[in-house]
């Protein structure tokens, strides 16, 4: 059986503390106490590295949205074509989710992360510097999506092996909150880069950022035979589908807002992104904070004995989805930059809080196959991005353009209704106990208990 790496955690006053240990070889049992092989050995450093990985990929995604919006404005690209190019990324991203989970389980999450960052960074560096050839631009974005689709399943495979159950909500929430901090940093800094250096230079910058992360990533491979994946049982279980449907609805709303937020600020609120300062980053900063708050709240509910695992996940998930749906319905009513930033921040922040529910649940029900279940659910989430981003473009076009409120009302209502529906499915079907895979090995349990 595959033995996971282990470090020696203690928890003092709610803060992780770590004592480094060496990675055990398969079948070797726990590593000797006090041995040390480098800065990636303590699981705090693993979580931090995974956090920086998610920051980086979302700096790239928002950076492309900003760069392409500027390119498209110069050559007069229609909103429908613009939406098609922006959504092209998600076609590739959707295709590679399940293979990403399988590859991470088979070859090791550390190795798969390295492959992914090398490939998508190279593709971004080769992206055309003009929006004139929409087909070529879309093809490159499909390639970037294919490569980035391996990142999240690989990250979750790494976390499932390093993090004990009592800390998983915090670890996952911190790691996934990097998506929103990356978005915030990108919205704050990159419009000025595009304005001063040009959109082509912006693309080169974010591609180089991926290579910089790769230069920091040191990995250790686990060799050994992976456990057989119970595909049929997982795909037939309602608890897995509760996670999948929640992932779809969350990402439908998130990708619509993320990809169309620059257009919303410029066309509806008549704001200049480069001149907005920190205001344009507030939605993502609040999402970053709320995502971590959801993880800590979920762990507190469960570890304090106030509710079981399933109930704790459902409370966090429901609170996030319901409040996000309400905020989404308010977004199109904004008539000032202040109101627009407020409603957008509430929508993304509340959605981020929900990640302490559905986004951790795959580690509850299938810790040995966390990357695979995440790959399945993230496929749904990515397909929702393809659908949502493209449909929003056509809704805006059919309503008379992005400056008309009617199209935004329809787009936000579609996102809100899906969030509400997903919350009811999760309440009905989500589970908190292990459903797939064997119990923790003796080495894992001994390491987690210390």
Model confidence pLDDT, tens digit, residues 168-177: 788 888 898 8
Q: Identify the pLDDT of residue 446.
A: 41
- ∠199-203-208 over CA atoms, to 5°? 145
Q: Is the pTM of this model over 0.75?
A: no
Whose structure tokens read 């700096």? 59
Task: Identify the weakest region by mean pLDDT among 59-63, 109-113, 227-231.
Answer: 227-231
Q: Identify the pLDDT of residue 290.
A: 94
**97/147 Cα distance (integer angstroms):** 10
Q: Identify the pLDDT of residue 160.
A: 81
Q: Identify the pLDDT of residue 19.
A: 32
Token couple for 182: 């990356």
User: At 192, is the pLDDT very low, low, confident or very high (cuts 50, 70, 90)?
Assistant: confident
**237/344 Cα distance (integer angstroms):** 35
Q: Identify the pLDDT of residue 385.
A: 80
Q: Identify the pLDDT of residue 219.
A: 52
Q: Identify the pLDDT of residue 259.
A: 79
Domains of the chain: 38-218+230-436 (1.20.1250.20)
Token couple for 434: 């292990």
Please check the confidence at residue 125 and state whether its pLDDT lies above 60: yes
Q: Identify the pLDDT of residue 16.
A: 38
Q: Is 9 helix (H, G, I), strand (E, B) or coil?
A: strand
| Cβ 182 vs Cβ 55: under 8 Å | yes
pLDDT in tens, 232-260: 888 899 999 999 999 999 999 998 988 78
Q: Which residues pair with 9 in a beta bridge?
A: 18
When comparing pLDDT for 443 and 405, which is higher? 405
12 φ, ψ to 5°? Answer: -130, 120
CA-based nearest residue to 251, from 418, 123, 122, 363: 418
When comparing pLDDT for 348 and 405, which is higher? 348
Give 389-414 as a DSSP string. Answer: HHHHHHHHHHTTSTT-HHHHHHHHHH
Q: Identify the pLDDT of residue 343.
A: 93
Task: Identify the weakest region by mean pLDDT among 22-36, 98-112, 337-351, 396-410.
Answer: 22-36
């Amino acid at each position: 059986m595959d033995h996971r790496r282990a470090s020696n955690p203690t928890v003092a006053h709610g803060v992780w503390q770590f004592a480094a240990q060496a990675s055990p070889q398969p079948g070797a049992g726990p590593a000797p106490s006090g041995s040390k092989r480098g800065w990636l050995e303590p699981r705090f450093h693993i979580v931090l590295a995974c956090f920086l990985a998610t920051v980086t990929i979302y700096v790239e995604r928002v950076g492309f949205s900003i760069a392409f919006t500027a390119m498209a404005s110069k050559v007069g690209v229609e909103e429908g074509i613009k939406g098609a190019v922006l959504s092209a990324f998600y076609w590739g991203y959707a295709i590679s989710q399940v293979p990403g989970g399988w590859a991470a389980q088979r070859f090791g999450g550390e190795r798969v992360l390295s492959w992914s960052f090398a490939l998508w960074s190279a593709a971004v560096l080769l992206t055309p510097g003009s929006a004139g050839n929409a087909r070529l631009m879309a093809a490159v974005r499909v390639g970037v999506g294919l490569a980035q689709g391996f990142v999240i399943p690989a990250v979750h495979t790494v976390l499932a092996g390093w993090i004990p159950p009592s800390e998983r909500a915090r670890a996952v929430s911190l790691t996934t909150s990097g998506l929103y901090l990356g978005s915030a940093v990108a919205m704050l800094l990159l419009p000025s880069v595009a304005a001063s250096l040009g959109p082509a230079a912006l693309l080169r910058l974010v591609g180089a950022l991926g290579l910089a992360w790769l230069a920091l990533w040191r990995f250790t491979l686990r060799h050994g035979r992976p456990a057989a994946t119970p595909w049929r049982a997982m795909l037939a279980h309602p608890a897995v589908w509760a996670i999948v449907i929640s992932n779809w609805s969350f990402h439908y709303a998130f990708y619509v807002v993320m990809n169309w937020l620059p257009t919303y600020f410029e066309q509806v609120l008549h704001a200049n992104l480069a001149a907005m300062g920190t205001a344009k980053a507030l939605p993502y900063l609040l999402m970053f904070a709320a995502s971590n708050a959801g993880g800590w709240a979920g762990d507190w509910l469960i570890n304090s004995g106030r509710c079981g695992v399933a109930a704790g996940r459902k409370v966090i998930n429901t609170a996030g989805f319901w409040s996000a749906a309400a905020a989404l319905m308010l977004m199109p009513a904004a008539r000032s930059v202040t109101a627009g930033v407020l409603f957008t921040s509430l929508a993304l922040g509340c959605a981020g809080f929900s990640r302490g529910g559905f986004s951790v649940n795959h580690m509850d029900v299938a810790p040995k196959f966390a990357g695979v279940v995440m790959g399945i659910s993230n496929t749904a989430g990515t397909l929702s991005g393809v659908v949502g981003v493209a449909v929003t473009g056509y809704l805006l076009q059919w309503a008379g353009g992005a400056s008309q409120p009617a199209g935004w009302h329809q787009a936000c209502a579609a996102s809100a209704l899906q969030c509400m529906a997903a919350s009811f499915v999760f309440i009905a079907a989500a589970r908190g106990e292990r459903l797939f895979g064997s119990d923790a090995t003796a080495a894992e349990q001994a390491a987690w208990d210390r």
